[in-house]
A and B are shown apart, each in its own frame.
Chain A
Protein backbone atom coordinates (compact mmCIF):
# COMPACT_ATOMS: atom_id res chain seq x y z
CA UNK A 1 0.00 0.00 0.00
CA UNK A 2 1.22 3.42 -0.84
CA UNK A 3 2.83 5.82 1.56
CA UNK A 4 1.07 9.13 1.02
CA UNK A 5 3.21 11.29 3.26
CA UNK A 6 4.41 14.51 1.72
CA UNK A 7 5.42 18.01 2.78
CA UNK A 8 3.16 21.03 2.75
CA UNK A 9 5.28 22.34 -0.12
CA UNK A 10 4.56 19.18 -2.12
CA UNK A 11 0.83 19.64 -1.49
CA UNK A 12 0.99 23.18 -2.83
CA UNK A 13 2.98 22.04 -5.87
CA UNK A 14 -0.05 19.93 -6.82
CA UNK A 15 -2.43 22.86 -6.60
CA UNK A 16 -2.88 25.53 -9.24
CA UNK A 17 -4.33 28.96 -9.74
CA UNK A 18 -8.01 28.96 -10.62
CA UNK A 19 -8.80 25.82 -8.61
CA UNK A 20 -11.78 25.31 -6.33
CA UNK A 21 -10.44 24.56 -2.85
CA UNK A 22 -12.48 23.25 0.06
CA UNK A 23 -11.03 24.05 3.47
CA UNK A 24 -12.18 22.01 6.48
CA UNK A 25 -12.71 23.03 10.09
CA UNK A 26 -15.27 25.55 11.29
CA UNK A 27 -14.76 29.24 12.10
CA UNK A 28 -11.55 29.42 14.08
CA UNK A 29 -11.50 25.70 14.84
CA UNK A 30 -9.22 22.95 13.45
CA UNK A 31 -8.31 24.86 10.32
CA UNK A 32 -5.48 23.42 8.21
CA UNK A 33 -3.45 26.56 8.80
CA UNK A 34 -0.02 25.06 8.03
CA UNK A 35 -1.34 24.19 4.56
CA UNK A 36 -2.90 27.65 4.22
CA UNK A 37 0.44 29.21 5.19
CA UNK A 38 2.18 27.05 2.56
CA UNK A 39 -0.38 28.25 0.03
CA UNK A 40 0.38 31.85 1.02
CA UNK A 41 4.07 31.24 0.28
CA UNK A 42 3.21 30.15 -3.26
CA UNK A 43 2.12 32.22 -6.23
CA UNK A 44 -1.24 30.42 -6.44
CA UNK A 45 -4.15 32.78 -6.84
CA UNK A 46 -7.58 33.20 -8.48
CA UNK A 47 -9.00 30.56 -6.12
CA UNK A 48 -12.59 29.62 -5.46
CA UNK A 49 -12.59 28.87 -1.72
CA UNK A 50 -15.36 26.77 -0.13
CA UNK A 51 -15.27 27.07 3.65
CA UNK A 52 -17.15 27.47 6.90
CA UNK A 53 -14.90 30.48 7.13
CA UNK A 54 -12.33 31.46 9.70
CA UNK A 55 -8.81 32.89 9.47
CA UNK A 56 -8.15 30.64 6.45
CA UNK A 57 -10.52 32.87 4.51
CA UNK A 58 -9.27 36.05 6.20
CA UNK A 59 -5.62 35.38 5.32
CA UNK A 60 -6.21 34.23 1.76
CA UNK A 61 -8.50 37.22 1.19
CA UNK A 62 -5.96 39.63 2.69
CA UNK A 63 -3.30 38.21 0.39
CA UNK A 64 -5.60 38.67 -2.62
CA UNK A 65 -5.73 34.96 -3.47
CA UNK A 66 -9.50 34.52 -3.53
CA UNK A 67 -11.51 35.26 -6.65
CA UNK A 68 -14.70 33.71 -5.33
CA UNK A 69 -15.78 32.58 -1.88
CA UNK A 70 -18.56 30.10 -1.07
CA UNK A 71 -19.56 30.40 2.59
CA UNK A 72 -22.36 30.81 5.13
CA UNK A 73 -20.18 32.95 7.47
CA UNK A 74 -16.66 34.02 8.28
CA UNK A 75 -15.75 34.38 11.95
CA UNK A 76 -12.91 34.00 14.44
CA UNK A 77 -15.43 32.81 17.10
CA UNK A 78 -14.03 34.74 20.08
CA UNK A 79 -13.53 37.69 17.72
CA UNK A 80 -16.93 37.60 16.02
CA UNK A 81 -16.06 39.44 12.81
CA UNK A 82 -13.01 38.50 10.71
CA UNK A 83 -11.31 41.85 10.00
CA UNK A 84 -9.47 40.93 6.80
CA UNK A 85 -12.52 39.25 5.29
CA UNK A 86 -14.58 42.33 6.19
CA UNK A 87 -12.05 44.60 4.51
CA UNK A 88 -12.11 42.43 1.38
CA UNK A 89 -15.91 42.48 1.21
CA UNK A 90 -16.18 46.19 1.92
CA UNK A 91 -13.70 46.98 -0.84
CA UNK A 92 -15.40 44.60 -3.27
CA UNK A 93 -12.24 42.50 -3.58
CA UNK A 94 -13.95 39.15 -4.01
CA UNK A 95 -17.01 37.50 -5.49
CA UNK A 96 -19.28 35.84 -2.92
CA UNK A 97 -21.70 32.93 -3.05
CA UNK A 98 -23.36 33.38 0.34
CA UNK A 99 -25.42 30.35 1.36
CA UNK A 100 -26.98 29.01 4.53
CA UNK A 101 -25.03 26.57 6.74
CA UNK A 102 -27.34 23.67 5.88
CA UNK A 103 -27.33 24.49 2.17
CA UNK A 104 -23.54 24.42 2.30
CA UNK A 105 -23.54 21.01 4.01
CA UNK A 106 -25.97 19.54 1.48
CA UNK A 107 -23.85 20.96 -1.35
CA UNK A 108 -20.92 18.93 0.00
CA UNK A 109 -23.17 15.86 0.46
CA UNK A 110 -24.34 16.19 -3.16
CA UNK A 111 -20.74 16.37 -4.40
CA UNK A 112 -19.67 13.41 -2.24
CA UNK A 113 -22.60 11.37 -3.59
CA UNK A 114 -22.01 12.40 -7.24
CA UNK A 115 -25.41 14.08 -7.38
CA UNK A 116 -25.94 17.37 -9.25
CA UNK A 117 -27.96 18.76 -6.34
CA UNK A 118 -29.91 17.88 -3.20
CA UNK A 119 -33.22 19.39 -2.10
CA UNK A 120 -32.99 21.58 0.99
CA UNK A 121 -35.67 23.23 3.08
CA UNK A 122 -33.62 26.39 3.44
CA UNK A 123 -33.07 29.51 1.43
CA UNK A 124 -36.57 30.01 0.08
CA UNK A 125 -38.01 33.35 1.16
CA UNK A 126 -34.57 34.64 2.11
CA UNK A 127 -32.27 36.93 0.16
CA UNK A 128 -29.92 33.99 -0.39
CA UNK A 129 -32.09 33.48 -3.50
CA UNK A 130 -31.72 37.14 -4.53
CA UNK A 131 -27.95 37.27 -4.21
CA UNK A 132 -27.50 33.88 -5.90
CA UNK A 133 -29.68 34.20 -8.99
CA UNK A 134 -28.23 30.93 -10.29
CA UNK A 135 -29.96 28.89 -7.55
CA UNK A 136 -32.88 26.81 -8.79
CA UNK A 137 -35.79 25.27 -6.96
CA UNK A 138 -37.32 21.81 -7.23
CA UNK A 139 -40.84 20.67 -6.46
CA UNK A 140 -41.51 17.47 -4.56
CA UNK A 141 -42.92 14.85 -6.97
CA UNK A 142 -45.06 13.43 -4.15
CA UNK A 143 -48.42 14.54 -2.75
CA UNK A 144 -46.97 17.28 -0.53
CA UNK A 145 -45.82 19.25 -3.57
CA UNK A 146 -43.45 21.39 -1.48
CA UNK A 147 -40.85 23.54 -3.18
CA UNK A 148 -37.21 23.24 -2.10
CA UNK A 149 -33.93 24.80 -3.07
CA UNK A 150 -31.99 22.48 -5.36
CA UNK A 151 -28.62 23.04 -3.71
CA UNK A 152 -25.96 22.44 -6.38
CA UNK A 153 -23.09 20.08 -5.62
CA UNK A 154 -20.01 21.85 -4.25
CA UNK A 155 -17.51 19.72 -6.12
CA UNK A 156 -13.93 20.58 -5.17
CA UNK A 157 -10.67 20.25 -7.09
CA UNK A 158 -8.93 19.80 -3.76
CA UNK A 159 -9.75 19.67 -0.07
CA UNK A 160 -7.44 20.73 2.77
CA UNK A 161 -8.24 19.48 6.28
CA UNK A 162 -6.40 19.16 9.57
CA UNK A 163 -6.84 16.31 12.06
CA UNK A 164 -5.15 15.14 15.25
CA UNK A 165 -3.57 11.92 13.97
CA UNK A 166 -3.16 10.12 10.68
CA UNK A 167 -1.29 7.13 9.37
CA UNK A 168 0.90 7.12 6.25
CA UNK A 169 -1.93 5.62 4.19
CA UNK A 170 -4.24 8.57 4.68
CA UNK A 171 -6.51 7.39 7.49
CA UNK A 172 -7.27 10.49 9.55
CA UNK A 173 -8.41 10.65 13.16
CA UNK A 174 -9.99 13.47 15.14
CA UNK A 175 -9.75 13.48 18.93
CA UNK A 176 -11.84 16.57 19.66
CA UNK A 177 -15.60 16.62 20.23
CA UNK A 178 -16.69 17.65 16.71
CA UNK A 179 -15.77 16.13 13.34
CA UNK A 180 -17.03 19.31 11.65
CA UNK A 181 -17.40 18.33 7.98
CA UNK A 182 -13.85 17.27 7.19
CA UNK A 183 -14.72 13.80 5.87
CA UNK A 184 -17.33 15.36 3.59
CA UNK A 185 -14.81 17.88 2.27
CA UNK A 186 -12.47 15.00 1.39
CA UNK A 187 -15.22 12.97 -0.27
CA UNK A 188 -16.45 15.99 -2.22
CA UNK A 189 -12.98 16.60 -3.67
CA UNK A 190 -11.00 15.14 -6.55
CA UNK A 191 -7.90 15.26 -4.38
CA UNK A 192 -7.67 15.70 -0.61
CA UNK A 193 -4.73 16.64 1.58
CA UNK A 194 -4.78 15.89 5.29
CA UNK A 195 -2.39 17.59 7.64
CA UNK A 196 -2.13 16.19 11.14
CA UNK A 197 -0.49 16.87 14.47
CA UNK A 198 1.30 13.53 14.36
CA UNK A 199 1.69 10.65 11.94
CA UNK A 200 1.42 7.34 13.77
CA UNK A 201 1.37 3.66 12.86
CA UNK A 202 -2.05 2.41 11.81
CA UNK A 203 -2.29 0.18 14.88
CA UNK A 204 -1.58 3.17 17.08
CA UNK A 205 -4.77 4.96 15.94
CA UNK A 206 -7.17 2.75 17.86
CA UNK A 207 -4.90 1.79 20.73
CA UNK A 208 -6.46 4.36 23.04
CA UNK A 209 -9.19 5.98 20.95
CA UNK A 210 -12.50 4.51 19.81
CA UNK A 211 -12.76 3.44 16.15
CA UNK A 212 -15.40 6.07 15.41
CA UNK A 213 -12.71 8.73 15.77
CA UNK A 214 -11.36 7.49 12.42
CA UNK A 215 -13.04 10.23 10.45
CA UNK A 216 -11.23 10.40 7.14
CA UNK A 217 -10.77 7.22 5.07
CA UNK A 218 -7.64 6.66 3.01
CA UNK A 219 -9.54 6.07 -0.26
CA UNK A 220 -10.52 9.73 -0.13
CA UNK A 221 -7.03 11.05 0.65
CA UNK A 222 -4.22 11.97 -1.74
CA UNK A 223 -1.58 13.21 0.64
CA UNK A 224 -0.74 13.25 4.35
CA UNK A 225 1.36 15.99 5.92
CA UNK A 226 2.79 15.88 9.42
CA UNK A 227 2.32 19.41 10.75
CA UNK A 228 2.69 19.74 14.51
CA UNK A 229 0.76 22.76 15.78
CA UNK A 230 -0.50 22.92 12.22
CA UNK A 231 -3.90 24.37 13.13
CA UNK A 232 -2.32 27.26 15.03
CA UNK A 233 -3.76 29.76 15.97
CA UNK A 234 -7.10 27.99 15.61
CA UNK A 235 -8.03 25.26 18.08
CA UNK A 236 -7.20 21.60 17.66
CA UNK A 237 -8.98 19.93 20.56
CA UNK A 238 -7.86 17.83 22.37
CA UNK A 239 -4.22 18.59 21.47
CA UNK A 240 -4.52 22.34 22.12
CA UNK A 241 -6.99 25.19 22.39
CA UNK A 242 -7.11 28.35 20.33
CA UNK A 243 -4.19 30.75 20.85
CA UNK A 244 -6.46 33.62 21.85
CA UNK A 245 -3.67 36.12 22.48
CA UNK A 246 -2.11 35.49 19.11
CA UNK A 247 -5.48 35.53 17.36
CA UNK A 248 -6.12 38.95 18.89
CA UNK A 249 -2.76 40.08 17.56
CA UNK A 250 -3.66 38.76 14.10
CA UNK A 251 -7.02 40.53 14.19
CA UNK A 252 -5.59 43.87 15.29
CA UNK A 253 -2.40 44.05 13.20
CA UNK A 254 -2.40 45.52 9.70
CA UNK A 255 -2.02 42.62 7.27
CA UNK A 256 1.32 43.67 5.67
CA UNK A 257 2.91 44.01 9.09
CA UNK A 258 1.55 40.64 10.26
CA UNK A 259 2.58 38.90 7.05
CA UNK A 260 6.06 40.36 7.14
CA UNK A 261 6.73 39.29 10.69
CA UNK A 262 5.08 35.87 10.69
CA UNK A 263 4.66 34.63 7.13
CA UNK A 264 7.84 35.65 5.35
CA UNK A 265 9.63 32.37 6.12
CA UNK A 266 8.68 28.69 6.14
CA UNK A 267 6.45 26.89 8.66
CA UNK A 268 9.36 26.39 11.04
CA UNK A 269 10.08 30.12 10.93
CA UNK A 270 6.40 30.84 11.60
CA UNK A 271 6.28 28.59 14.68
CA UNK A 272 9.48 30.11 16.01
CA UNK A 273 8.26 33.69 15.35
CA UNK A 274 5.11 32.85 17.31
CA UNK A 275 7.19 31.54 20.22
CA UNK A 276 9.30 34.69 20.19
CA UNK A 277 6.17 36.84 20.13
CA UNK A 278 4.79 35.01 23.16
CA UNK A 279 8.01 35.57 25.08
CA UNK A 280 7.95 39.32 24.55
CA UNK A 281 6.79 41.37 27.52
CA UNK A 282 3.37 42.96 27.02
Chain B
Protein backbone atom coordinates (compact mmCIF):
# COMPACT_ATOMS: atom_id res chain seq x y z
CA UNK B 1 0.00 0.00 0.00
CA UNK B 2 1.38 3.39 -0.85
CA UNK B 3 0.67 6.37 1.36
CA UNK B 4 0.12 9.53 -0.62
CA UNK B 5 0.44 12.88 1.05
CA UNK B 6 -1.70 15.82 0.06
CA UNK B 7 0.27 18.16 -2.20
CA UNK B 8 1.88 20.95 -0.20
CA UNK B 9 0.43 24.43 -0.43
CA UNK B 10 2.87 26.84 -2.06
CA UNK B 11 5.26 28.64 0.31
CA UNK B 12 3.99 31.80 1.97
CA UNK B 13 5.97 35.05 2.19
CA UNK B 14 6.72 34.29 5.84
CA UNK B 15 8.17 30.93 4.79
CA UNK B 16 10.44 32.54 2.22
CA UNK B 17 11.59 34.84 5.02
CA UNK B 18 12.36 31.83 7.25
CA UNK B 19 14.42 30.31 4.41
CA UNK B 20 16.24 33.60 3.79
CA UNK B 21 17.09 33.93 7.48
CA UNK B 22 18.19 30.30 7.73
CA UNK B 23 20.61 30.87 4.82
CA UNK B 24 22.44 33.48 6.92
CA UNK B 25 23.82 30.65 9.07
CA UNK B 26 24.85 28.34 6.22
CA UNK B 27 28.47 27.17 6.52
CA UNK B 28 28.90 29.04 9.82
CA UNK B 29 30.22 25.96 11.60
CA UNK B 30 30.17 25.63 15.37
CA UNK B 31 29.03 29.13 16.33
CA UNK B 32 26.16 30.50 18.38
CA UNK B 33 23.17 31.50 16.26
CA UNK B 34 21.58 34.48 18.03
CA UNK B 35 18.29 35.26 16.34
CA UNK B 36 16.16 38.18 17.51
CA UNK B 37 12.56 37.98 16.43
CA UNK B 38 10.29 35.09 15.59
CA UNK B 39 11.20 34.45 11.96
CA UNK B 40 14.97 34.59 12.52
CA UNK B 41 14.47 32.09 15.38
CA UNK B 42 12.65 29.73 13.05
CA UNK B 43 15.40 30.28 10.48
CA UNK B 44 18.13 29.37 12.95
CA UNK B 45 16.28 26.21 13.98
CA UNK B 46 15.69 25.26 10.38
CA UNK B 47 19.37 25.77 9.56
CA UNK B 48 20.38 23.59 12.50
CA UNK B 49 17.89 20.88 11.53
CA UNK B 50 19.16 20.76 7.98
CA UNK B 51 22.35 22.19 6.54
CA UNK B 52 24.10 23.64 9.64
CA UNK B 53 23.78 20.95 12.33
CA UNK B 54 26.75 22.20 14.36
CA UNK B 55 25.12 25.53 15.27
CA UNK B 56 24.67 26.34 18.95
CA UNK B 57 21.33 27.72 20.14
CA UNK B 58 20.24 29.43 23.37
CA UNK B 59 16.96 29.25 25.22
CA UNK B 60 16.91 33.05 25.32
CA UNK B 61 17.96 32.89 28.95
CA UNK B 62 21.21 31.45 30.21
CA UNK B 63 21.40 28.03 28.59
CA UNK B 64 22.73 26.48 25.43
CA UNK B 65 20.08 24.06 24.25
CA UNK B 66 19.58 21.44 21.57
CA UNK B 67 16.63 21.43 19.20
CA UNK B 68 14.54 19.43 21.68
CA UNK B 69 15.42 21.82 24.50
CA UNK B 70 18.08 19.61 26.09
CA UNK B 71 20.55 21.76 27.99
CA UNK B 72 24.09 21.32 26.70
CA UNK B 73 25.79 24.31 28.21
CA UNK B 74 25.63 27.38 30.43
CA UNK B 75 25.64 30.80 28.81
CA UNK B 76 24.92 33.63 31.24
CA UNK B 77 25.16 37.19 29.91
CA UNK B 78 28.81 37.69 30.74
CA UNK B 79 29.84 34.50 28.88
CA UNK B 80 27.54 35.46 26.03
CA UNK B 81 29.54 38.69 25.73
CA UNK B 82 32.75 36.65 25.57
CA UNK B 83 31.26 34.65 22.71
CA UNK B 84 30.61 37.95 20.95
CA UNK B 85 34.11 39.31 21.43
CA UNK B 86 35.61 35.92 20.66
CA UNK B 87 33.74 35.98 17.38
CA UNK B 88 32.04 32.58 17.82
CA UNK B 89 28.57 33.96 17.23
CA UNK B 90 26.44 35.19 14.35
CA UNK B 91 23.65 37.47 15.50
CA UNK B 92 20.61 38.53 13.51
CA UNK B 93 19.41 41.75 15.10
CA UNK B 94 16.40 43.94 14.50
CA UNK B 95 16.70 47.49 13.22
CA UNK B 96 14.42 50.47 13.82
CA UNK B 97 16.45 52.23 11.14
CA UNK B 98 19.13 50.98 8.76
CA UNK B 99 21.00 52.87 6.03
CA UNK B 100 22.70 51.93 2.78
CA UNK B 101 26.02 51.10 4.46
CA UNK B 102 24.38 48.97 7.15
CA UNK B 103 24.44 51.44 10.02
CA UNK B 104 21.66 50.36 12.37
CA UNK B 105 19.69 52.25 15.00
CA UNK B 106 17.67 50.87 17.93
CA UNK B 107 18.40 53.71 20.36
CA UNK B 108 16.07 56.60 19.58
CA UNK B 109 14.30 58.47 16.80
CA UNK B 110 15.15 62.12 16.31
CA UNK B 111 17.82 64.14 18.03
CA UNK B 112 19.64 62.01 20.62
CA UNK B 113 19.82 64.93 23.07
CA UNK B 114 16.03 65.14 23.19
CA UNK B 115 14.58 62.25 21.20
CA UNK B 116 11.14 62.37 19.62
CA UNK B 117 10.89 58.67 20.48
CA UNK B 118 13.11 56.89 22.93
CA UNK B 119 13.63 53.25 21.93
CA UNK B 120 15.61 50.47 23.65
CA UNK B 121 19.09 51.96 23.72
CA UNK B 122 22.23 50.88 21.88
CA UNK B 123 22.23 47.52 23.68
CA UNK B 124 25.08 45.34 22.34
CA UNK B 125 24.97 46.60 18.77
CA UNK B 126 28.35 48.39 18.91
CA UNK B 127 30.19 45.36 20.32
CA UNK B 128 28.35 42.95 18.03
CA UNK B 129 29.26 44.72 14.84
CA UNK B 130 32.96 45.06 15.65
CA UNK B 131 33.38 41.45 16.74
CA UNK B 132 31.03 38.87 15.25
CA UNK B 133 29.12 38.69 12.00
CA UNK B 134 25.91 40.70 12.35
CA UNK B 135 22.89 40.29 10.08
CA UNK B 136 19.61 42.16 10.31
CA UNK B 137 15.94 41.27 10.12
CA UNK B 138 13.25 43.81 9.23
CA UNK B 139 9.70 42.39 9.18
CA UNK B 140 8.15 45.46 7.52
CA UNK B 141 10.31 47.00 4.83
CA UNK B 142 9.54 50.72 4.60
CA UNK B 143 11.09 54.15 4.12
CA UNK B 144 10.83 54.68 7.85
CA UNK B 145 13.25 51.80 8.44
CA UNK B 146 15.44 51.93 5.30
CA UNK B 147 16.58 55.51 5.71
CA UNK B 148 19.20 57.73 4.09
CA UNK B 149 20.84 58.35 7.46
CA UNK B 150 20.12 56.72 10.81
CA UNK B 151 19.51 59.04 13.76
CA UNK B 152 21.96 57.16 16.02
CA UNK B 153 24.59 54.71 14.79
CA UNK B 154 24.29 51.73 17.13
CA UNK B 155 25.34 48.85 14.87
CA UNK B 156 28.33 50.04 12.85
CA UNK B 157 27.99 50.09 9.05
CA UNK B 158 30.75 49.67 6.49
CA UNK B 159 31.40 53.40 6.04
CA UNK B 160 31.92 53.84 9.80
CA UNK B 161 33.82 50.60 10.42
CA UNK B 162 36.99 51.80 8.66
CA UNK B 163 37.98 48.24 7.84
CA UNK B 164 37.76 47.05 11.45
CA UNK B 165 39.36 43.61 11.46
CA UNK B 166 36.33 41.54 12.48
CA UNK B 167 33.55 43.70 11.03
CA UNK B 168 31.16 41.83 8.73
CA UNK B 169 27.49 42.32 7.89
CA UNK B 170 26.53 39.20 5.92
CA UNK B 171 22.94 40.05 5.05
CA UNK B 172 19.77 41.99 5.70
CA UNK B 173 16.50 40.09 5.34
CA UNK B 174 13.19 41.93 5.04
CA UNK B 175 9.68 40.87 4.10
CA UNK B 176 10.49 41.96 0.54
CA UNK B 177 13.88 40.42 -0.12
CA UNK B 178 17.45 39.73 0.84
CA UNK B 179 20.15 42.39 0.76
CA UNK B 180 23.92 42.29 1.08
CA UNK B 181 26.87 44.65 0.79
CA UNK B 182 28.74 42.89 -2.02
CA UNK B 183 29.45 46.08 -3.95
CA UNK B 184 32.79 47.90 -4.44
CA UNK B 185 31.93 50.54 -1.82
CA UNK B 186 29.88 48.16 0.39
CA UNK B 187 26.62 49.95 -0.36
CA UNK B 188 23.51 47.84 0.18
CA UNK B 189 22.56 45.66 -2.78
CA UNK B 190 19.40 43.79 -3.58
CA UNK B 191 20.58 40.16 -3.51
CA UNK B 192 17.27 38.36 -4.03
CA UNK B 193 13.57 39.14 -4.25
CA UNK B 194 10.99 37.07 -2.43
CA UNK B 195 8.64 35.60 -5.04
CA UNK B 196 5.75 37.94 -5.77
CA UNK B 197 7.78 41.08 -5.02
CA UNK B 198 8.98 43.48 -7.71
CA UNK B 199 12.10 45.62 -7.85
CA UNK B 200 9.84 48.67 -8.05
CA UNK B 201 8.13 47.69 -4.82
CA UNK B 202 11.47 47.45 -3.06
CA UNK B 203 12.70 50.78 -4.47
CA UNK B 204 9.44 52.40 -3.42
CA UNK B 205 9.85 51.13 0.16
CA UNK B 206 13.52 52.11 0.44
CA UNK B 207 14.54 55.62 1.45
CA UNK B 208 17.98 55.52 -0.16
CA UNK B 209 19.45 54.69 -3.54
CA UNK B 210 19.64 50.89 -3.49
CA UNK B 211 22.14 49.01 -5.63
CA UNK B 212 20.09 46.79 -7.96
CA UNK B 213 21.91 44.40 -10.32
CA UNK B 214 20.53 43.81 -13.83
CA UNK B 215 19.44 40.33 -12.94
CA UNK B 216 17.94 39.85 -9.48
CA UNK B 217 17.42 36.20 -8.56
CA UNK B 218 14.39 35.10 -6.57
CA UNK B 219 14.90 34.02 -2.96
CA UNK B 220 15.38 30.28 -3.19
CA UNK B 221 12.47 27.89 -2.89
CA UNK B 222 12.20 25.82 0.25
CA UNK B 223 12.56 22.09 -0.33
CA UNK B 224 9.48 19.98 0.45
CA UNK B 225 11.29 18.69 3.53
CA UNK B 226 12.08 22.24 4.71
CA UNK B 227 8.45 23.25 4.23
CA UNK B 228 7.34 20.24 6.21
CA UNK B 229 9.79 21.07 9.01
CA UNK B 230 8.60 24.68 9.19
CA UNK B 231 4.92 23.77 9.14
CA UNK B 232 4.86 20.62 11.23
CA UNK B 233 7.87 20.77 13.52
CA UNK B 234 9.25 24.27 13.96
CA UNK B 235 6.11 26.42 13.89
CA UNK B 236 3.05 24.16 13.85
CA UNK B 237 0.96 26.99 15.37
CA UNK B 238 1.61 29.17 12.32
CA UNK B 239 2.81 32.14 14.39
CA UNK B 240 5.15 33.18 11.53
CA UNK B 241 2.16 34.65 9.72
CA UNK B 242 1.79 37.16 12.56
CA UNK B 243 5.25 38.60 11.87
CA UNK B 244 4.90 38.56 8.06
CA UNK B 245 1.50 38.28 6.41
CA UNK B 246 1.28 36.50 3.07
Contacts and interface: CB of A to CB of B under 8 A. Distances in A.
Interface of A: 26, 53, 71-75, 80-81, 85-86, 89-90, 92, 98-103, 105, 120-128, 130-131, 146, 177-181
B114 A102 contact: no
Given A179-B76, A181-B77, A72 B122 contact: yes
A189 to B, nearest CB: 18
A180 B62 CA distance: 10
Contacts of B118: 81, 85-86, 89-90
A81 B119 contact: yes
Contacts of B115: 89-90
Interface string B101-126: 00000011000111111111111111
A131 B152 contact: yes
Interface string B150-181: 00111110001110111100000000000000
B61 A178 contact: yes
25 contacts: A71-B121, A72-B122, A73-B121, A98-B121, A101-B81, A102-B81, A102-B84, A102-B127, A121-B127, A121-B130, A123-B126, A124-B164, A125-B153, A125-B156, A126-B129, A126-B153, A126-B154, A126-B160, A127-B154, A131-B112, A146-B165, A177-B61, A177-B74, A180-B77, A181-B78
B157 to A, nearest CB: 8
A86 B115 CA distance: 9
A92 B124 contact: no
A212 to B, nearest CB: 10
Contacts of A179: 76, 78
Contacts of B74: 177
Contact of B120 (A26, A73, A177): A73
Nearest to A52: B77
Given A105-B81, A178-B62, A100 B124 contact: yes
Contacts of B78: 105, 179, 181
Interface residues of B, number: 43
Contacts of A126: 122, 125-126, 129, 153-156, 160
A182 to B, nearest CB: 11
Contacts of A103: 126-127
B112 to A, nearest CB: 5
B108 A128 contact: no
B121 A92 contact: no
A229 to B, nearest CB: 21
A125 B103 CA distance: 10
A183 B122 CA distance: 24
A101 B162 CA distance: 22
B85 interface: yes
Given A122-B130, A125-B161, A90 B114 contact: yes
Given A121-B85, A125-B126, A127-B107, 13 more contacts: A72-B121, A73-B122, A74-B120, A86-B118, A89-B108, A90-B117, A98-B112, A100-B127, A102-B81, A105-B78, A122-B131, A125-B160, A177-B74
A128 B61 contact: no
Given A92-B113, A177-B63, A128 B77 contact: no
A177 B81 CA distance: 16
**7 tightest Cβ-Cβ pairs between the two chains A and B:** A73-B121, A122-B127, A177-B62, A102-B127, A89-B118, A125-B156, A125-B160
A101 B130 CA distance: 13
Contacts of B155: 126
A10 to B, nearest CB: 31
Nearest to B121: A73
B114 A99 contact: no
Q: Which of A89, A127, A181 has the largest count of B CB atoms less than 10 A from its CB? A: A127
Contacts of B127: 100-103, 120-123
A116 B74 CA distance: 31
A237 B77 CA distance: 15
Nearest to B165: A146
A98 B122 contact: yes
Contact of B164 (A26, A72, A85, A125): A125
Interface string B56-76: 000001110000000000101
Q: Which of A98, A100, A124 has the largest count of B CB atoms less than 10 A from its CB? A: A100
Contacts of B84: 102
